[in-house]
Chain A
Amino acid sequence: MSNDSLDPRVNRLKLGDANAVIKVEEGENWNVYEVFHQEKRGAHHEHVGCVHAPDPQLALVFAKEQFARRKKCVNLWVVRSADILAFDVEDEDMFANNLEKNYRDASGFKVMEKINKFKQSK
């Protein structure tokens, strides 16, 4: 069976018999890279999306036009998505009680009084 995909990456897989083992050769399929955008020097790099690319260099080349074409940008990072370590979805319960622990909020500190007192004393 021949397949007529417009995507060469699909055609390279030589999909035939449904039961046949599909072998992916090294370098045949592209990686996904996460893209981080920096708006000005010293600012945080913020995650903006991802690109497909065969290597990090081309990921940067693609990221520049995908994500830094219109808005202000001074730098970009790309990181292979597979290299990012994340919690599992079911571990979300670790964060469940965060909202109750409001004593950890910085808003609990009453500093304005002290600041005003200090200003008056000057």
Chain B
Amino acid sequence: MISNAALTDLIIKMADDELIQGHRNSEWTGLGPVMEEDIAFSSMAQDKIGHAWALYRILHENLGGEDPDRFAFMRPESAFKCSHLVEMPNGGYDFSLMRHFLFDHAETVRYESLQESSYEPFQQLSKKLKGELKYHTLHANAFILQLSNASEEGYARMQTALNDTIALAAGIFEPSAAHEETLITEKVYPGEKALYNRWLDRIYPVLVKASLNLPDMKTVAPVYGGRQGFHTTHLAPLLKEMGEVFNLDTEASW
């Protein structure tokens, strides 16, 4: 029997990352650099929110969690377990694209590992999302290569974006002091350390092709805290805006 507390903790972290990243990326809708990209980026943002919803449903249906909408929109900031990476404001498109690239590869290695999870709902979900994630990383890789190889300005901006996001992205893999060992022993997933290494193996070849320099990861201190409910000042305004309509009437039926 897998520990419910450990599973719940892992699912909330994953789902909150998807929800907040999805919401942030959706802020680009209507403002994207060209129409085609606006549509593609918005569509992927919707996918992320769909991933969050699927995870909240697993919580709700299998682990005694709350209704997904109420859980997403009515929790206080301190109950959120998203990483600081996804909370950051969009900034320029360079920053948003680099975050998308780093986040989606992290997401991909995580869901790939869940295909062999001892927890059945994870197996099903990861198989379902496989194709979507393949497109997300294809999109991200194509853009990173295109912009880095386009001009000096493009290259410089992508390198700056990488330097600005790498420590935040490494923070995705913040292990849980209480549950990490249990989840690994129970074969729910291989653990944050293993996923972090797989993630580096994925992003490195793309960065090399783009001639971007990955900082020496030994010198990069991952930005932790989000998984324990400590957040940047950017999360509270985001949550207020995201839940604004829902919280007008939390009993309304849609």
Contacts and interface: CB of A to CB of B under 8 A. Distances in A.
Contacts of B63: none
Interface string A61-98: 11011100100000000000000000000000000000
Contacts of A55: 146
Contacts of B36: 51-53, 62, 65-66
A66 B139 CA distance: 13
A13 B80 CA distance: 47
A42 interface: no
A58 B135 contact: no
Contacts of A27: 150
Given A61-B142, A64-B135, A8 B33 contact: yes
A16 interface: no
B37 interface: yes
B74 interface: no
Contact of B146 (A51, A54, A66): A54
B220 interface: no
Nearest to A50: B36
Contacts of A54: 146, 150
A57 interface: yes
A36 B130 CA distance: 24
A57 to B, nearest CB: 5
A65 B138 CA distance: 12
B142 A66 contact: no
Contacts of A52: 34-36
Interface in B114-148: 135, 138-139, 142-143, 145-146
Interface string B24-35: 000000000111
A70 to B, nearest CB: 10
Given A57-B142, A58-B143, A65 B39 contact: yes
B146 A62 contact: no
A62 B150 contact: no
Contacts of B43: 65, 69
Interface string A32-55: 000000000000000000011111
A68 B150 CA distance: 28
B133 to A, nearest CB: 14
30 contacts: A8-B33, A27-B150, A51-B36, A52-B34, A52-B35, A52-B36, A54-B146, A57-B142, A57-B145, A57-B146, A58-B142, A58-B143, A58-B146, A61-B40, A61-B138, A61-B139, A62-B36, A62-B37, A62-B39, A62-B40, A64-B40, A64-B135, A65-B36, A65-B39, A65-B40, A65-B43, A66-B39, A66-B40, A69-B39, A69-B43
Q: Which 8 A-B pairs have the closest CB atoms?
A: A62-B36, A65-B40, A65-B43, A61-B139, A57-B142, A61-B142, A51-B36, A58-B142
Interface of B: 33-37, 39-40, 43-44, 135, 138-139, 142-143, 145-146, 150
Given A58-B142, A61-B139, A69-B43, 15 more contacts: A8-B33, A52-B34, A52-B35, A54-B146, A54-B150, A55-B146, A57-B146, A58-B143, A61-B40, A61-B138, A62-B37, A64-B40, A64-B135, A65-B40, A66-B39
